Amino acid sequence: MVEVCGGISRTGVTMLNGEAVEIAGVGFAGICGFGGGFGRRKLNAWGESLIEQFVPESIIHAIRFEQALVKLQTDRKIVVLHYSPIRATLHGEDPEIYAFLGSSRLEEPINRFRATAVFHGHAHNGITDGKTSSGIPVYNVSAPVLHKTGKPYRIVEL
């Protein structure tokens, strides 16, 4: 992974793997994210040893994501994730796998730092639009979801 990111970075592309970048006055922060579940059904680090490894990984991604958001000093902040920060865009997926499609641990920093919009993938059977608990728009832009709309892209006016 390090070699791939290094090679891509040498071409001028910024990998948003816990990083932030400003382009033309718009801030971008991102991370892959991780599973873990949502709200009261969020996994906690107890029980089997594999769960005790899974949950800290989710927390590490949330912390690195928050550190990226802290770096942005722009009014407009775009969040780019792989995993979903909310349940709403997962509708259409089997509820039994929600914990593997995202984590509400990613939502809290989005709300606190008042992101302008959030884009994620990973939920291939989900829906296109949702909002965080504070009303920030979240867009599922996974290729299968976009394919259902008839457009292989999403345009959002900032």
CATH of the domain at 61: 3.30.750
Tell me if residue 20 falls in helix, strand or coil.
strand
Residue 79's pLDDT is what?
98
Residue 1's pLDDT is what?
62
Residues of the chain where predicted confidence (pLDDT) is lower than 50 = none
Amino acid (one-letter) located at 101: L
Q: Flag whether 80 is in a domain.
A: yes
Residue 49's pLDDT is what?
78
Q: Flag whether 52 is in a domain.
A: yes
Q: Flag whether 132 is in a domain.
A: no
Q: Flag whether 2 is in a domain.
A: no
Please tell me the total count of domains within the chain.
1
Q: Flag whether 83 is in a domain.
A: yes
Residue 40's pLDDT is what?
87
Q: What are phi and psi of 119, to 5 degrees?
A: -125, 130
| Contact predicate 111/136, CB 8 Å | yes
Q: Flag whether 72 is in a domain.
A: yes
Residue 15's pLDDT is what?
87
Structural domain boundaries, residue 74 = 15-125+139-149
Q: Flag whether 67 is in a domain.
A: yes
Residue 103's pLDDT is what?
97
pTM: 0.91
Residue 43's pLDDT is what?
78
